[in-house]
Structure 1
Amino acid sequence: MFRQALLSRCRPAQPLRISPRRFASFLFPRPQARNQPRLLLWATAISLATYLTFSPRTVHLDADSQPFPKPSPEDSVVDPATSISFPKTIRVPSKINIPPLSLVGLGVRTVSFLNIKVYSIGFYADLDNPNLMVPKDLSPEEKIKYIVRNTACVIRIVPTRSTSYTHLRDAFMRALQARLVKGKQEGTLTEDDAQSAASPMRKLKSLFPNSPLTKHTPLDAFLSPPTPGRPRALVFRDLGAIEHDWVATELVLNYFEGAVPSPALKKSVIEKLETFEAK
């Protein structure tokens, strides 16, 4: 009997059994009812912050966004270097009446010693503007500058392969910075003028989203005609606009002065304007 009692005392203890539900409750206790409103508030705030951070922000202009119509062969000119078609005339979608703009010239943009074709560029202008009185004694290069400074224009960029808006944005900013430095060195731009250009240049940089620009999708930069009492606007379709005489005109003139992005474009425009006389 003594042995039996001793064995019963030395018997190993039964393992502690905890149900899975209790184990989960032990590791992850349920919040008290009084904390539920606070948790809901935090979850809502985090969701809203995430949406505002990552949601796309597109600035739409006055005109409704419309797809670019494909020009017919008889109404277009093909860039021989890229086979990209440019309509002979375009209309800028707007709530105000903007006359049709005529294709003045086009050309390809190449990079590196391999001459990789990155995009084709078309230059449009309101050549039928009755107020555009181009002096007959101007050279073709001077006619380009006169037209850019005195009437509505469009620079149309059509990538030959998918690229990004930020890639084009960086090219625009480098061009403006270079022209800013050159203007100050040559004395054509005062320090006050350079300071006034800083804010619209920052705004221009902020217009472009961090998203792709797909192959053969045109990007139009519209330079508004001069209007008394108002600075000229440079409008990027579906992205936004800046208003500043120097920034707006100099970005367009960048395609025709100095180390131009496309020598082929400049040559094409010069050939067109050699015999051009305003009506």
Structure 2
Amino acid sequence: MSAARWNRARTLLTQPTTHAIFRPVAIRAPIQHHLGRTSAVATVAARTQDRWRPWMMASIATAGVLSWQLSQSLVEAESQARPATVIDEDSKVEFPTIIPSEDGSPARLLGLGVRKITFLKVQVYVVGLYAKASDLDDHNSRFRALPEVQKFQRTDTVSSDTAFRAIVQNPIELVLRIVPVRNTNGPHLRDGFTRNLTQAAKHQKLDDIENEEAMKGIIEFKNLFPKGKINAGQAMLFRKSPDGSMSIELDGEVLGTTRNTWLIESFFLGYLQGENPISGKARDSVAQGIQDLLLQ
């Protein structure tokens, strides 16, 4: 090799090579660029969330208020649909639609009507029948589940009498609420009730043993009545308990209790039977109440 060519080769070998040098900055720069974009996006999202957070919280709060208002409106609508009292159209006596049952839960009015002395057309008292609201609303309750009740037909005396008898004879709480139209006294009301019961015993053609049991019940019943004055508007409650007893209450005070099965059934059925009920208006009203109940 000539000296000139050797010198040229040595010069090329000693020159620095640039294309093969690893430059970390050349790689780090794109990573920092993408990280910077990600950070910027996260910052914008955080700022956007902070910007809309008050609105979102206000929306959640508003939704909660609207939900509560809706539930309150439904409760109010339900209470408005069922008035607190009803007025007997003949006597103008006012009756509550709800009274406490034996355990304190609500008992609901099924129907009411006035009792009149027929030949004088004198109004004596108003009677209403109540049953526990749970028995009326629950389709599996003893009241609603009775086959006789499910077949109830208001215009069919046979089916309605059968249903009323089943209701009274089963362990279902019922309350007869009786309110005098004018001032009276315990003996006067007592005599009217016992007269109806005595007529029922004769009509049923009881044998000697049954008749003796009925007379014992009537005597026991008579002894439970107060002797003093009972003012117009004072309420007497005859409460048939699921345990088979019946108590008599006056203005919330229990006067006494009887467990005579014949008396309890005859007393309630006297207002519910289709033939010569004590109050035809009450019987028809209760029958309509049950018919409406079954259509719900």
- Shared fold (TM-score, shorter chain, > 0.5): yes
Percent identical across equivalent pairs?
28
Name structure 2 gaps, 5 residues minimum. 1-79, 136-140, 155-159
Deviation at 1:207? Answer: 1.4
Q: How does 1:91-106 map to 2 (within 5 A)?
A: 91-92=100-101, 97=103, 99-106=105-112
1:247 deviates by 0.9
Q: Does 1:169 align with 2:190?
A: yes
Kindly state the Cα deviation for residue 137 of structure 1 after the two structures are TM-superposed.
Answer: 2.0
The equivalences for 1:1-279 within 5 A come to 74-92=83-101, 97=103, 99-126=105-132, 128-129=134-135, 130-132=141-143, 133-135=145-147, 136-140=150-154, 141=160, 142-150=162-170, 151-184=172-205, 189-225=206-242, 227=243, 232-237=244-249, 238-257=254-273, 258-277=275-294
Does the aligned pair in 2 maintain the 1:125–1:147 contact within 8 Å? Answer: no
Q: 1:193 to 1:85 in 2, by over 3 A?
A: same
CA positional deviation for 1:234: 1.5
Check 1:265–1:174 CA distance in 2 against 1; reply closer, same or farther (3 A cut).
Answer: same
- Most deviating of 189-198 and 98-107: 189-198
- Find the aligned partners of 2:163 and 2:295 in 1 and give their Cα distance: 10
Following TM superposition, by how much is the alpha carbon of 1:264 offset from its aligned partner in structure 2, in angstroms? 0.8
Q: Which has the higher contact order (CA 8 A, sep 6+)?
A: 1
Cα-to-partner distance string for 1:209-261 (whole Å, 9 max, x where unaligned): 32111111011111112x3xxxx212101311111111111101101223222
Quickly say closer, same or farther: Cα 1:127–1:144, change in 2 above 3 A. Answer: farther
Unpaired runs of 5+ residues, structure 1, are 1-71
Cα deviation digits, residues 68-118 of structure 1 (max 9, x gap): xxxx993111111122111111114x5xx2542210101111224442222
Q: How far has the Cα of 1:127 moved from its partner?
A: 5.3
Q: Which moved more, 1:140-149 or 1:246-255?
A: 140-149
CA distance in 1, matches of 2:187, 2:124: 14
- Which one is further off, 154-163 or 83-92? 83-92
Deviation at 1:166, TM superposition (A): 0.8
Q: Deviations over 1:160-205 (max 9, x none)?
A: 1101111111111111111111222xxxx44322222332321111
Change (3 A) 1:200 1:114: closer
- Does the residue aligned with 2:221 lie in a helix, a strand or coil? helix
Matched position secondary structure for 2:294: coil
Q: CA RMSD in A?
A: 2.3
Partners of 2:152 and 2:291 within 8 A in 1: no
Determine if contact 2:106/2:132 at 8 Å carries over to the other structure.
yes
- C-alpha contact 1:222 1:236 (8 A) present in aligned 2: yes
Decide which structure has greater helix share.
2
Relative distance call for 1:278 and 1:99 in structure 2 (3 A) is: farther
Q: How far, CA to CA, are the matches of 2:182 and 2:291 in structure 1?
A: 33
The two structures have a TM-score, normalised by structure 1, of 0.64
> Paired residue for 1:17?
none
Higher Cα radius of gyration: 2
